[in-house]
Structure 1
């Protein structure tokens, strides 16, 4: 490694079969730190798992694989599957200049909350580069999620340094679009906090202050306060685990009005920081509570059908006729029928993932969707998300405005307009399917 000036080396058998990889980190942590002799077998310090990419893969795919797997090395294989080399995060940094790797490094190494606050503002230029390179919208969402999670984690670490160690185990939940890993450049906070019931009154006091501090810092970092108050700084959403289980049971039993609104936000939850065991316990409770409550799914479906694709009887776009957003439609609302379709069916089929496209994939694997249905929903959702990102980046770059979700169809190409109309037509079909499956009426 020293002679070749590289940070890793592939280990193979005498026949040339891949056995593992050894990195400079392995030598530091497993040999030098533990005082092992230099004649110690390399097979005992190597890592057997090495994630990889094809030699034909675009650079941003390798980057997303590294970020998603939290690794610094990827094996590169040719068309036959043979490993032909290794690419590192250092290689990616050198190739891309200011990239997500730099941004993540800056976030994780920040010494004060103030150093973190301006990091979210660097996302648009990074996203513009990877979208121009052909990145899929799902990868763009994943990148935003990775950055948002890193910001949240660093700010929580600062809050613990400021307030002292928490009195009991806890988990900071992220909800809604963040819980689904579908954030865009226009986003606000949807979060909550669960802590262990053994903490008592000391935990009640600590975690309210903790939630206030973290949410205030997130707001300063570019994640606006939730207008509906769904945040960990709200005492209602900062509670011990038994209270959260009661919340979910009540929403499922009531299944009307406010309860359905909460379900659409809170049922797309995941852990942002802390004890994953609490997340798993709440999810198990949710699915147990859903069992046998057909009425909940009927009401959740009826609520989901309020969102209609913006297409008229004669296949013309339905746009705002007056006001600030005249001649546009809200693409976020246009995407909601797919999000709702995936959520209702996923909850009904015990699917634990929260991401819309991952839910659709699982529904396909469970034979709830056939191949054509899966492709129509998945590709349609990707196209809508791509247009959404394009609109937000245009607002920032050309109009010097804050990103929004309003699309003027007349500014789209003829192909984009035709594709949109076809997607909206398909959405209407799937809404009829959803209605029939859970209400008996198409």
Structure 2
């Protein structure tokens, strides 16, 4: 049923930049939008196609891919797309297709341009790259702190040029910063040594202070990448120290800029797809932490970042399967490799182990098992080499239990649903997040549908799953303040995984069971739950907003750790947040707790 103008206006007032328009303008604008019904796999537009206008997702889900067919974003309600093409001549610079049914709102091209002319703030919004879209590594939207090398090598001005040159050789660098008590005094580069020492015939014992560039041009960490590029081009320099209150905090070189612009998911996927060994792939996946930093620094939403990172794991898995078949020969019967856990949900961050399994054709003969044992060993070992470490719980295809014919998998799910023991609840929670990665997908389609129907029909099983899901609670204490971990290694920290995103992941899985929904991604499950009337519009909006804030905070925390040279984890110190951030994070946890309570008491969220 088409949306009424009143319903459309209510929706637009929840979407930026329309929420800033005058009510009278919104009244005129609402009827202009065309409403387009979509179902999964419907094409929206193709690369280089003349765009009809600006698209806005009201409900459903749309996948955007680049010119190489690589997914670059997955968009849900309140996300716009197509503006890049409209602001670059009117032709699509990406392709888009629906991945879940719903409604798209299309603002015709002429009306979009008129709105841009009438409302300068709307023009500014759409002329820049939107958060939630991905346009490669943009220097114009990335802060210097995400590009710079931290803790640069330094020396004193009193040291000799020879000792400075030895420092450069030792650290394989082309410059040293000259400091005094942490404050920047100058910079000495290999070009300075060549031109001012060797070419001038001066002694290697000359003090650094005599040949360095004093008071060099600097930038602050809050500057953007294009500032670095412009400064280098204008002044013909290749090194820019980064300072904060005169103190040296980093340096950016031409090499840093080149490396930054070279890292993109498309190139990483391409490199992995061409790799001949797991070791070659590992050189590519080693760049994932830096990719995460750049994606977050570029303003991308958490679901875009985690989707892109998960795509890399998918590609590595498929390439390892192909390499295994080259070594072992063709498989004796059809098989399907599936991921579960965060990869299955397309929610991988900078901290990921591997969770996978194999479904084999029921035509499996007694002697065929050895082939798939070797295939599983090859792929799982390769993934471990790539940094996706072995699952501590042995939830991998190398475990014979998770490498079985389809009929055995059917019996697994039937048994878990019929007798929901604590172990069955745990296993079902993991296995309900299965997603096919490589092989014969027909081995999973019927199994998923049968399992969802059986789970929904068994109220006892659903009740047990709800009880299991509620074991992960948001970190709220008395008076609903933030409650940090009380003891141990992570004392006074918030666990942003188990007490942050996992409670929402669990809720999404429960809604999927209750609504017989095939979606696996948490955000997609919440959208689908609203569309299927499992979750009320207000409940869905609140939970999506809460989830976005929690997941984004977790991702930004990991990016900050990587920038600081630390390994990313899920433990966040509340003291690192501003009062404003703590307040909003607490409110988000309250929303999650409220919805957990509603589910736990058997109350629907349809009011």
TM-score, normalised to structure 1, is 0.80
Q: Taking structure 1 as reference, are residues 240 and 424 closer, same or farther at Cα in structure 2, changes over 3 Å only?
A: same
* 1:390 matches 2:556: yes
1:364 Cα deviation (Å)?
0.9
Q: Which has the larger radius of gyration?
A: 2
Match of 1:358 among 507, 515, 524: 524
Report if aligned partners of 1:67, 1:146 keep a CA contact under 8 Å in 2: no
| Structure ranking higher in strand proportion | 2
Q: 1: CA distance between counterparts of 2:350 and 2:340?
A: 16
Aligned-residue CA RMSD (Å):
2.9
Q: 2: CA distance between counterparts of 1:97 and 1:396?
A: 18
Q: 1: CA distance between counterparts of 2:91 and 2:422?
A: 57
Aligned pairs for 1:194-209 (under 5 A) are 194-209=359-374
Aligned to 1:223: 388
Q: 2: CA distance between counterparts of 1:342 and 1:190?
A: 19
Q: Taking structure 1 as reference, are residues 77 and 296 closer, same or farther at Cα in structure 2, changes over 3 Å only?
A: same
* 1:381 matches 2:550: no
Report if aligned partners of 2:558, 2:570 keep a CA contact under 8 Å in 1: yes
Aligned pairs for 1:344-355 (under 5 A) are 344-355=510-521
Segment drifting more, 316-325 vs 352-361: 316-325
Equivalent residue of 1:324, what SS?
coil
Q: 1: CA distance between counterparts of 2:502 and 2:291?
A: 26
Aligned to 2:46: 50
Aligned to 2:302: 137
Aligned pairs for 1:35-114 (under 5 A) are 50=46, 65-66=65-66, 70=70, 77-78=85-86, 84-87=90-93, 96-114=261-279
1:64 Cα deviation (Å)?
5.5
Q: 1: CA distance between counterparts of 2:459 and 2:71?
A: 43
Report if aligned partners of 1:174, 1:271 keep a CA contact under 8 Å in 2: yes
1:48 Cα deviation (Å)?
10
Deviations 1:225-266 (A, max 9, x none): 111110000011100000000000001111121000101101
Q: 2: CA distance between counterparts of 1:408 and 1:162?
A: 48
TM-score, normalised to structure 2, is 0.59
Identify unmatched segments of 5+ residues in structure 2. 1-42, 56-61, 73-80, 96-134, 140-260
Equivalent residue of 1:403, what SS?
coil
Report if aligned partners of 2:494, 2:573 keep a CA contact under 8 Å in 1: yes
Q: Taking structure 1 as reference, are residues 296 and 242 closer, same or farther at Cα in structure 2, changes over 3 Å only?
A: same
Report if aligned partners of 1:64, 1:143 keep a CA contact under 8 Å in 2: no
Report if aligned partners of 2:67, 2:93 keep a CA contact under 8 Å in 1: no
1:83 Cα deviation (Å)?
6.8
Q: 2: CA distance between counterparts of 1:71 and 1:339?
A: 23
Aligned to 1:28: none
| Paired positions, count | 384
Q: 1: CA distance between counterparts of 2:341 and 2:68?
A: 20
Q: 1: CA distance between counterparts of 2:583 and 2:524?
A: 26
| Structure ranking higher in helix proportion | 1
1:284 Cα deviation (Å)?
2.0
Aligned to 1:370: 536
Q: Taking structure 1 as reference, are residues 320 and 67 closer, same or farther at Cα in structure 2, changes over 3 Å only?
A: farther
Q: 2: CA distance between counterparts of 1:170 and 1:419?
A: 46
Segment drifting more, 415-424 vs 367-376: 367-376
Q: 1: CA distance between counterparts of 2:568 and 2:426?
A: 25
Report if aligned partners of 1:64, 1:139 keep a CA contact under 8 Å in 2: no
Match of 2:483 among 312, 318, 323: 318
Aligned to 1:259: 424
Equivalent residue of 2:388, what SS?
coil
